[in-house]
Amino acid sequence: GIQVEQSPPDLILQEGANSTLRCNFSDSVNNLQWFHQNPWGQLINLFYIPSGTKQNGRLSATTVATERYSLLYISSSQTTDSGVYFCAGPANDYKLSFGAGTTVTVRA
């Protein structure tokens, strides 16, 4: 099945800073999803992004399927952005393969 690698594993930001998280996958994918797990453990679907760029407030994501990577941008970070960010691609028709996650800590 598809392998998903995320970088960096950890990120510490000062409030207001911008950052980029990266997800590489081992094979071509026809969809990619980004999730945020907040400090309370909730897993929120941020983006479903098979290709191109999407924006949601201060977050945006870009997937370049032909080059097998996706980027998540956080602009003007806030403490509420803290948590773990996962990307996931389809391992097969029904199973998602999750990366190990990037732990983001935003300091006030």
Q: Which residues bind another protein (CB under 8 A)?
A: 30-31, 33, 35, 41-45, 48, 50, 86, 88, 90, 92-96, 98, 100-101
Give the amino acid at 11.
L
CB of 18 to another protein, least distance (A): 25
Q: CA 105, CA 94: separation in Å to the nearest integer?
A: 32
Nearer to another protein, 17 or 37 (CB): 37
- Cα dihedral: 70, 73, 74, 76 (round 10): 180
CB of 69 to another protein, least distance (A): 19
- Residue 105: CB atoms within 10 A of its CB come to 14
CB of 71 to another protein, least distance (A): 18
